[in-house]
Amino acid sequence: MLNLQTASEHFTNPLYLESGRILEPYDIVYETYGELNVAKDNVIVICHALTGSHHAAGTYEGDNKAGWWDGLIGQGKAVDTDKFFVICTNVIGSCFGSTGPMSPRYPYTDEYRYKFPVVTILDMVKAQRILFDRLGIHQVHAIIGGSMGGMQALAFGVFFPNFAKKIIAMAATAVTQPWAIAFNKVAQEAILKDPEFKNGYYDPAVIRENGLSGMAIGRMAGHISFLSPDSMERKFGREYKRNDGLYELFGKFQIESYLEYNGYNFTKWFDPLSYLYITKAINIYDLSRGFDSMEEALSKINAELYLVSFDKDLLFLPSEMRSIHDTLVQLGKTNSDYFNVDSDYGHDAFLVEIDKIEDYVRSAL
Annotated active-site positions, please? 147, 313, 347
275 and 295 inside one domain: no
149 and 186 inside one domain: no
**DSSP letter, residue 111:** B
pLDDT at 250: 81
Low-confidence stretches of the chain (pLDDT < 70) are none
CB 284 within 8 A of CB 119: no
Residues 6+ apart with CB under 8 A from 69: 46, 56, 57, 351
172 and 184 inside one domain: no
- Could you say which of 280, 315, 332 is where a domain stops? 280
**Separation CA 276–CA 294 (nearest Å):** 27
CB 272 within 8 A of CB 216: no
Residues 6+ apart with CB under 8 A from 151: 121, 145, 169, 172, 173, 282, 285
- Could you say which of 246, 280, 314 is where a domain stops? 280
pLDDT at 128: 98
**DSSP letter, residue 99:** S
Size of the chain in residues: 365
- Could you say which of 212, 246, 280 is where a domain stops? 280
**DSSP letter, residue 10:** E
**What CATH number has the domain bearing residue 42?**
3.40.50.1820
69 and 165 inside one domain: yes
10 and 78 inside one domain: yes
Helix H or strand E encompassing 126: helix 121-134
218 and 307 inside one domain: no
pLDDT at 248: 83
pLDDT at 243: 74
**What CATH number has the domain bearing residue 248?**
1.10.1740.110
pLDDT at 235: 87
Q: What is the largest CA-CA distance in the chain?
A: 67
162 and 238 inside one domain: no
Task: Residue 113: give the domain boundaries.
Answer: 5-176+287-364
206 and 241 inside one domain: yes
Residue 138: other Cβ atoms inside 10 A: 12
93 and 110 inside one domain: yes
350 and 272 inside one domain: no
187 and 67 inside one domain: no
For the chain, strand residue ranges (E) read 5-11, 15-16, 22-23, 26-33, 43-47, 73-74, 79-80, 85-89, 140-146, 164-170, 304-310, 336-341
pLDDT at 114: 97
User: Can you say whether the dihedral through the CA atoms of 82, 131, 137, 174 is positive or negative?
Assistant: positive
Residue 234: other Cβ atoms inside 10 A: 11
210 and 63 inside one domain: no
Q: Which of 227, 218, 226, 229 has its CA nearest to residue 184?
A: 218
What domain count does the chain have? 2
CB 225 within 8 A of CB 315: yes
3-state secondary structure of 222: helix
